[in-house]
Structure 1
C-alpha cells in the first residue's frame, strides 16, 4: 500500500466522505489529477463495499483535443468495466450568450451536468479531483475578489453530494504517484494559457510570491484557509440556531423570518443566516454577490416595506412590516369552479372550504359568531361558484362599509402582511365577489329577514403545523 493511498483512506474516513454500499461517480477529465483520483478510488472500492462510475463532460473548448479526451476517458471506463456517463456542451457559445467568463461558464454547465447525472443514476456522491494546490489558488482568487470568511475558507472536503478526497495531497505528490504507477493521462493545453485567471495565479503570481516574499506561501495560505474554515463552521452553526429562532414559517419554497429577532444578531450572523436560507431553498450561497447581500441587510434594517430583491435562480426577498420573506418561484394563480358539499383545498394547502345550503328556518341565524363560518343569501348567487386568487384591481362591497373598496386597500387597512395576501382567495359568482375568504362577505349577498335559503361557507384548518 502506497503512502498516498494510506493517506487517501485516512482522509476519507476522517471526513466521512463515503459510506458503506454507496455508488460514487468519479469526475474524470482525463488529466493526471482525475486519473489518479479514479485509480485511488478503484483500489478503495476493492476493500470497501462501494461501486463506481465515471462522468465526463466535453466542454468543446479545445476542438479535436476535447473529443480525444472523451475517447480516452471512455476507454478507461471500459477497461475497468464501470458505467460511463458523458455529455457534450458548447461552453464558448454559452459564455458569449449569457455574458460569463469562459471559466465560470464551464463551471455552471459542469455542475448542471453533474446534478442531472445524480438524479438519473441515483448515485450518492460525485468525487472531484481538487487537491491542495487548487485550494491555495482558490483562496487567493477569493481574496482578490473581496470574499469574506466563507470564501477564504476555500473548498470543503464535502459539499452536499460532492466530495473532494484529494484535498490533502499536493500536485507534486499526485504526479509522483502517477509516475510510480505508470498511469496514462491527457495533457490539457488550456492549463498553460495565462488568459485564464487561475492559470495566471498558478504560473505567474505564486512563483513570484515564493521567490520574493515567502518560500512557504502555500503552507501559509493553507493555514489561513484552515483557520477560516473553522470560523466558517462556527458561524454556520450559530446561523442555524439563529434561523430557527427567527423563523415564523418554513416551507419548501418559502421561508418567513421575524425582523426584530433577525436584527438582534450581529451582522456577520445575519449574513450567514441569509446564506443558510438560500441553501434551504436550493441555492448555492456563493451565487450571491457581496453587494446584493449588503443591500438585502440594509433594506431589512430600514424596513423598506414592499421592496423586493431578485436573487439568483428566481429567489425573491420581500420586506413587510415585521417580516422578511425568502421565496423561490413565482406565485401560481389559482382558479377553479367549485360545487356544494365538497371539501375544497385553498391555495395555501393547509385549509379546506366547505359550501352547503340550508333553509333559514333550520338555523334561525342571520350571521355566525364563529370567525371561520359565514352565511350569505343563496338566492342572490348567480351562475357558477368560482374560487380564485386575488387579481390586481379586484373590488367588492365589504359588509357594513359604505360603497365599494379595492380588495388590496381593504387588506392593507387591516394590516395584513403582503406575503399573506397572496394566499387569500375570493369566492365569487357571476354577480361579483361573495366572500373575501376568512375576512369579510360582500354586502350585496348579506342575509336579511327575507332570506329563505342560506349558503353556509366554512373554512377549516387541516394542517396546524403550517
Structure 2
C-alpha cells in the first residue's frame, strides 16, 4: 500500500518537502490510517503534521469520545492536535441547511481557520477509492451531463493552500489491511450503517455488487475521474472561442446575445459547454436546477425552423430567438410595468428594477462615459423625469440634425424587445429626452460654457 500512495502523491505532486500538512481526523479507520501514514513521511520529507478534529455533537457521548480518542492518539504518536466542538443543530436552524450539509459547513470553516493559524500548505482528507466509486455512481444516477460526472478531485484550492486526498488510489479493503498491520484500533461510527442516508445505501447495496463484477472498480473509477476532469478542462478552454462571438451586456440588467449562425459554426460539444459558461455568467454560479433537458431545449432552440421562439429556464431566465439572434435574460412580471418618476437634482432615485440614477449640478464639464451624462445647464429645464418609453418617443441626438425614434435606436442597438419597455430615459420639464441611458445622448454640451453643468450617473443592479 505504501508504495501505491507514494507513487500517487508523486504523480499528482500533492506533498512537497518542508510543508505543513493538516490531517482531518475523525477517529475512524480511514482518517486514522491517513494520519499514521503522514507521520511516516514526517522525517524523510521534513514535514510538519497537525491533526485537526471536529465533534459535531450529533451522537452525544460517542462523538465526544471520538474527539478524545483522536487527542489521545496524537499524544501517543507525538503529533500536534487541534480539536473543537460545534453546534450543528443551532447552525442548521439558522441557515436552513440539512444536517449533513450544516455539519460539513462548520467542519470546513474550522479547518480553514486552523489552516490560516498554522500557515499550512495542505489539508489532507481520508477519502479513498471506494468513496470515489460511490460518488461517481451517484452522480451518474442523478444526471446525464458529462461535466457533472467527475467525482472527487485529487486536489483543489482551499484557504491559502489546497485540499489533498492521497488515499484516492486505495480501496477500503487496502486501508483495512494497513490498520491491521500497524495495530491501529479506530473508532467506529454506527451511523455509517444507517441506509436512510443515500450514500450509505449505495455503499451497502450497490458497490458490493459492482465490486463483485470488477474487484478493481476503485482503480478504474479514479482513472475515469482524472480523465473526465482533464477532458472537461480542455473542452472548457476550447469553448472560450465560442464566447468571443457572444455579447455579455449589462446596460439595465444582465443579458447575453449572440448570432445563431456564428454560434453554430462550432462543434456541438463546444456549443453545449458554452451554454453552461453563459449560465455561469447570468446566474453568477450555475444553478443546480439546470439539467441535460434544459441543455437539449437550448440546442433545439438553436436549430428551430421558426424565426421566433423562446424557452423558459430556471429562476425566471428566458432564452428568446428572434431570427438570427438569441437573447438570454431574466424577465419578471414586475419588469414589464411602465414607470414615471421625478428625478430631483441633488438626489438619487431607485428605479423599479433596483437600479440607481443620480442627478447633480457640478461646476465643470466632467468626463462622460456609458453610464455618465453631462450637459450645460443653459439647455436644461428642471424638474427632470426618469421614465420608461412611450409610443412615438423621439429624441434629438447630440451632434446630429433632426430627431430619431427611440424605437429605431433600440433596433439599431439590437436591444432585445423584452427589455425595451423598461429601459430608462431621462427628460426635462419640457419633455425633451436628454438621455436614453447607456445608449444615446441628447442635450447640448458646449465646451467651456460658463455656469453650472448637469451630471447624471446610472448604476445598474447587475453591477451593484
SS at 2:395 equivalent: coil
The match for 2:234 among 232, 237, 240 is 237
**Residues 8/256 of structure 1: CA separation in 2 closer, same or farther (3 Å cut):** farther
SS at 1:62 equivalent: coil
- Equivalent pair of 2:14/2:166 in contact (CA under 8 Å): yes
When the two structures are superposed, what TM-score results if normalisation uses the length of structure 2?
0.66
- For residues 31-85 of structure 1, the C-alpha deviation after alignment (integer angstroms, 9 at most, x for no partner) is 1112222232344454446555555454454333233334444556676224446
1:134 CA drift (Å): 1.6
Greater alpha carbon shift after TM alignment, 197-206 vs 219-228: 219-228
**Residues 316/75 of structure 1: CA separation in 2 closer, same or farther (3 Å cut):** farther
- For residues 202-261 of structure 1, the C-alpha deviation after alignment (integer angstroms, 9 at most, x for no partner) is 333344456xxxx34242574366346425522430232122332346799979573534
**Residues 203/415 of structure 1: CA separation in 2 closer, same or farther (3 Å cut):** closer
Q: Which residue of 1 aligns with 2:80?
A: 81
1:166 CA drift (Å): 0.5
Q: Which residue of 2 aligns with 1:289?
A: 291
**Residues 307/58 of structure 1: CA separation in 2 closer, same or farther (3 Å cut):** farther
Q: Which residue of 2 aligns with 1:110?
A: 104
Q: Which residue of 1 aligns with 2:151?
A: 154
SS at 2:177 equivalent: helix
Q: Which residue of 2 aligns with 1:199?
A: 200
1:272 CA drift (Å): 3.4
- Equivalent pair of 2:29/2:179 in contact (CA under 8 Å): yes
- Equivalent pair of 1:306/1:318 in contact (CA under 8 Å): yes
What is the RMSD computed on CA atoms of the aligned residues?
A: 5.2
Q: Which residue of 2 aligns with 1:139?
A: 136
**Structure 1: gaps spanning 5 or more residues:** 358-376, 460-466
- Equivalent pair of 2:20/2:48 in contact (CA under 8 Å): yes
1:447 CA drift (Å): 9.4
**Residues 48/239 of structure 1: CA separation in 2 closer, same or farther (3 Å cut):** same
Distance 1:70 1:409 in 2: 70
- Equivalent pair of 2:264/2:271 in contact (CA under 8 Å): yes
- For residues 81-113 of structure 1, the C-alpha deviation after alignment (integer angstroms, 9 at most, x for no partner) is 244466332399669956x6xxxx524651575
**Residues 292/86 of structure 1: CA separation in 2 closer, same or farther (3 Å cut):** farther
1:332 CA drift (Å): 5.7
Distance 2:107 2:353 in 1: 28
Distance 1:282 1:424 in 2: 23
Distance 2:51 2:255 in 1: 37
When the two structures are superposed, what TM-score results if normalisation uses the length of structure 1?
0.66
Matched, 1:355 2:356: no
SS at 2:223 equivalent: helix
What is the 5 A alignment of 1:365-380? 378-380=378-380
Number of aligned residue pairs: 409
Greater alpha carbon shift after TM alignment, 277-286 vs 12-21: 277-286
